[in-house]
């Protein structure tokens, strides 16, 4: 079942929490409020989509420290930072930590609405991309050592006959491995294979599987 996106609101000011929560719900989105960054971190499940709206200055952990904690915990939830003390260095600091924007309190409703929508859409795209990469990694894990070697050489642009010569294999063996690679990776061409593996990034070409 697909989980509905939630706007997670972290602010030690009850009135500010209520205001952003009401605005979020008027957009047809779910809202959850937290009086501190610590409480949010203790309860948040990374599988839950949406975005985070956090104040900069709070009792305890600040909004920027919360951003750092998200990075350390590999949580990619898009972050909107709001503050009554906005300046250029603070904005730069927030952006460096991954915030999509920094808004000055009191926020204009239209500005906050548009940024919340953008953040939620960004999270959807990020999660789809992550799922796609994970799917490719799972397919890659099904390749034997011999198929991995051939895959690496295919990515280097080498033809079947050159691969056969380099690996001291029969051409038919290379062709069979190539066929299995395409089947397991669910692609129809080397171009599609290259595109899929570029999305993964660094690949471990070693392993202890049998051919």
The CA–CA distances, whole Å, from 68 to 9, 23, 52, 163 equal 17, 27, 13, 46
Q: Residue 50, class by beta-carbon neighbours within 10 Å (0-12 exposed, 13-18 middle, 19+ buried)?
A: buried
Which DSSP helix (H) or strand (E) runs through 99?
Answer: strand 99-104
The whole-angstrom separation of Cα 152 and Cα 102 is 44
Domain count, the chain: 2
Sorting pLDDT into bands at 50, 70 and 90, what band is 208? low
Instruction: Give a yes or no: residue 67 inside a domain.
Output: yes
Give per-residue pLDDT as tens, 9-30: 999 999 999 999 999 999 999 9
Sorting pLDDT into bands at 50, 70 and 90, what band is 104? confident
- Are 163 and 81 contained in the same domain? no
Q: Which of 131, 158, 192 is the last residue of a domain?
A: 131
Please give the model's pTM, rounded to 2 decimal places.
Answer: 0.78
Instruction: Give a yes or no: residue 156 inside a domain.
Output: yes
Six-digit token string for 134: 């994970």
Q: Domain residues for 23?
A: 6-131
Give per-residue pLDDT as tens, 51-102: 999 998 898 999 889 999 999 998 999 999 988 876 667 777 777 777 888 8
């Amino acid at each position: 079942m697909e989980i509905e996106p939630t706007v997670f609101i972290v602010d030690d000011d009850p009135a500010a929490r209520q205001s952003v929560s009401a605005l979020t719900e008027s957009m047809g989105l779910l809202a959850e409020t937290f009086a501190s960054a610590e409480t949010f971190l203790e309860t948040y499940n990374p599988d839950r989509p949406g975005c985070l709206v956090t104040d900069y200055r709070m009792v305890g952990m600040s909004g920027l420290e919360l951003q750092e904690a998200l990075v350390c915990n590999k949580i990619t939830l898009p972050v909107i930072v709001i503050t009554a003390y906005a300046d250029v260095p603070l904005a730069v600091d927030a952006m460096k930590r991954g915030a999509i924007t920094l808004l000055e309190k009191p926020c204009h409703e239209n500005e906050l609405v548009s940024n919340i929508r953008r953040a939620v859409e960004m999270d959807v795209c990020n999660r789809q991309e992550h799922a796609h990469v994970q799917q490719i990694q799972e397919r890659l894990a099904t390749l034997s050592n011999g198929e991995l070697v051939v895959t690496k050489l295919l990515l280097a642009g080498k033809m079947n006959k050159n691969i056969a010569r380099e690996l001291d294999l029969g051409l038919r063996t290379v062709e069979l491995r190539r066929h299995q690679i395409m089947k397991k990776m669910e692609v129809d061409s080397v171009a599609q294979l290259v595109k899929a593996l570029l999305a993964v990034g660094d690949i471990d070409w070693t392993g202890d599987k049998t051919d």
